[in-house]
Structure 1
Amino acid sequence: MPIDAAKAIAAEPRTGEISWTPKDVQLYHLGIGAGARPDIAGPATDPDELRYTLESRLHVLPSFATVAGAGSPGVISSLSMPGIEVDLARVLHGGQSLTVHRPVPVAGTATATGRIAAVYDKGKAAVLVMRTEVADADGPLWTNDAQIFVRGEGGWGGDRGPSARLEPPAGDPDKVVERPVREDQALLYRLSGDLNPLHADPEFAKIAGFDRPILHGLCTYGITLKAVVDTLLGGDVTRVRSYVTRFAGVVFPGETLRIRMWRQEGRVRVEVGAVERGDAPVLADTIVEHT
């Protein structure tokens, strides 16, 4: 079997140094659509967007943690860890959770430790939980968990794992915004480190079962967090404490995201759909916890 769950979990963690600069932060922000607010009349670049794009005002959207240091150890590199040997064309990002221990600095050097935290048997697929813990000289910075679906690799009788499904939010959303996705959004976003050809190569996308390249799930993840911060958290990135989502469907470059938000005590529930496909679910079971 290409996935040996016991061997994968028992493997020694991979540890390495990562670093990032303001330019990396700016590139990430541009990759998730920063620099323009289509819902605000006025200049093409809204002044509030300068906190994401201008070095003298720069602050860091916490979801940058998913690509800092080019996402090291990285989902693709983690697929070659002991006990794991899979076909990249069978791999889909199923979910993501991020816990921020303190605000992400504009520039930094840190140690990233990555390991397989769990392997679940979903019958027709295996789910790998890839955990990355990052700390610098002052202590922990963030913890990332990526849930990776590997199609066709389940069915060995292992633990199915917890369910990520939540009860739907009650009532009408407190806020609804729409965010267009550029036709070249995936090509721009991949420059932050996720070079999976699924997001750029039409032939590879067909092999993976799509008629054209799809947007990175983590790009949608970043676009959504930015919308929540800008809309309900007063633009203050330091208020975010954690952010979890389930990738419920794909986004194609050129589509529009409809982001629905419900205020709850200490958190925001979020659902995201693709407008052009009848609000087809894109992100579900999504929670941003904040101060």
Structure 2
Amino acid sequence: MIDPDLVRTAEPARHAISWTTRDVLLYQLSLGASDLSFTYERGLRVLPTFAMVAGQGISAGDRPARGLDLPGIEIDLAKILHSGQALTVHRPLPTAGSATVTSRVAELWDKGKAAVIVLENDAADDYGPLWTSRMQIWARGEGGFGGSPGPESSWSSPDRLPDHVLDSPTSPTQALLYRLNGDRNPLHVDPAFAVQVGFDRPILHGLASYGIVAKALVDGVLDGDPTRLVSLDVRFAGTLFPGETIRTSVWREGNHLTLAATCPERDDAPVLSHAFAEVTP
């Protein structure tokens, strides 16, 4: 059930997070990184998408992950789907640190048979803003409350060959490692559970694909410098099974990148769509 009036008038929630260099190393290893600049603490560089798991990894111990605990929203978690993710980093992320995260529902859209909840998180430390993320959550059966359907969305790739095509093979055990960043949903590891919810076998985390694409852009377009990747905005268009490849096509116009990520083993089935990135020169 969604109470739109309560959602709109709710005060933002705040919570503290912290992370260590070990959390960063694990995250980047779980994306398949092997170069020392991302896997060795000496001279360590941090992918901006680490923001998606900061405060949730091995340093957090076995504390339960934060669920969808939002005023005015009571939804069975089995009915929700992480349908999109946007991230903007305001400065390079430190290899270890702490921050305060302020969360609020930024948008609530009525799609008729479903609702879309846009959850915005702003993280800041003692030196100022670190990142802003916007997560789109698709809630089946929760529409019909009389709200706005939200903006029309259209996307198409430029009518020319991509400037870069980046292949990122994944490992059959990729999800086993990635889940140690905090998302231990059995969908990504338990074959019986995956079949129960409609998949042939466990699927890779959407945010793992998101991070893998970010790493591909850093390596293949940005000369290995993660500080040049300022924002990444995607829709999760399809599943990827561990062991398959993510093929990222990149069209560049100045500092703006248009992206499409597909799975070549399944006739370029879509993985990420409506995808854009902003970079520095």
1:7 corresponding residue in structure 2: 6
Distance apart, 1:206 and its partner CA: 3.2
Q: Does 1:229 align with 2:215?
A: no
Distance apart, 1:53 and its partner CA: 0.1
**1:1-291 map, 5 Å:** 2-35=1-34, 49-70=35-56, 77-291=66-280
For 1:8 and 1:184, locate their aligned partners in 2 and report how far apart those are by CA, in whole Å.
Answer: 39
Give the paired residue count.
Answer: 274
| TM-score (normalizing by structure 1) | 0.89
The residue type paired with residue 17 of structure 1 is A
Distance apart, 1:208 and its partner CA: 2.9
Distance apart, 1:117 and its partner CA: 1.4
- Provide structure 2 residue ranges, at least 5 long, that are not aligned to the other structure: none
1:45 corresponding residue in structure 2: none
Q: Deviations over 1:191-233 (max 9, x none)?
A: 1112223222333333432232211111100000110111111
Distance apart, 1:136 and its partner CA: 0.3
The residue type paired with residue 151 of structure 1 is R
For 2:150 and 2:12, locate their aligned partners in 1 and report how far apart those are by CA, in whole Å.
Answer: 21
Distance apart, 1:78 and its partner CA: 4.6
C-alpha contact 1:78 1:130 (8 A) present in aligned 2: no
Per mean C-alpha deviation after superposition, the further-off stretch among 211-220 and 126-135 is 211-220
For the residue of structure 1 that corresponds to 2:66, the secondary structure is helix
Distance apart, 1:8 and its partner CA: 2.3
For the residue of structure 2 that corresponds to 1:16, the secondary structure is strand
For the residue of structure 1 that corresponds to 2:28, the secondary structure is helix
Tell me the C-alpha RMSD between the 2 structures: 1.7
C-alpha contact 1:9 1:115 (8 A) present in aligned 2: no
| TM-score (normalizing by structure 2) | 0.92
C-alpha contact 1:177 1:259 (8 A) present in aligned 2: yes
Change (3 A) 1:154 1:209: farther
For the residue of structure 1 that corresponds to 2:51, the secondary structure is helix
The residue type paired with residue 58 of structure 1 is L
Q: Deviations over 1:164-206 (max 9, x none)?
A: 4323222001111211111121121111112223222333333
Q: Deviations over 1:47-91 (max 9, x none)?
A: xx111101002110001011111189xxx7352222122222222
Change (3 A) 1:175 1:197: same
The residue type paired with residue 103 of structure 1 is P
For 1:250 and 1:158, locate their aligned partners in 2 and report how far apart those are by CA, in whole Å.
Answer: 30
The residue type paired with residue 158 of structure 1 is G
For 1:160 and 1:78, locate their aligned partners in 2 and report how far apart those are by CA, in whole Å.
Answer: 25
C-alpha contact 2:4 2:145 (8 A) present in aligned 1: no
C-alpha contact 1:11 1:82 (8 A) present in aligned 2: yes
C-alpha contact 1:89 1:208 (8 A) present in aligned 2: no
For the residue of structure 2 that corresponds to 1:149, the secondary structure is strand
Change (3 A) 1:153 1:205: farther
For the residue of structure 2 that corresponds to 1:56, the secondary structure is coil
C-alpha contact 1:93 1:247 (8 A) present in aligned 2: yes
